[in-house]
Amino acid sequence: MGVNKAVIDANVLLALVDKKDKWHYKSKEIAKALEEKDWEIIFLDCIMNEVISVLGKRLVERKEADKFEGIVQNLEKFVPENKIEWLYPEIPDFYSDIINLTKEKRGRLNFHDALIALFIRSSGLKYIVSFDTDFDDIDWCVRLKDEKDIP
pLDDT digits (tens, 9 = 90+) for 68-118: 999 999 999 999 999 999 999 989 999 999 999 999 998 888 999 999 999
What is the domain extent for residue 12? Answer: 5-86+124-149
| pLDDT at position 66 over 60 | yes
Query: What confidence score (pLDDT) does residue 3 get?
Result: 80
| Residue 2: predicted pLDDT | 53
Answer yes or no: are the C-beta atoms of 78 and 17 closer than 8 Å: yes
DSSP structural state of residue 40: E
CATH of the domain at 11: 3.40.50
100 found inside a domain: no
User: 127 in helix, strand or coil?
Assistant: strand
Map residue 6 onto helix, strand or coil: strand
pTM of the model: 0.91
Report if residue 104 sits inside a domain. Answer: no
> What's the domain count of the chain?
1
- Angle separating helix axes 24-36 and 10-17, nearest 10 degrees: 100
Give me the pLDDT at residue 107, please: 85
Examine residue 112 and state whether it is found in any structural domain, yes or no. Answer: no
67, 59 contact by CB (below 8 A): yes
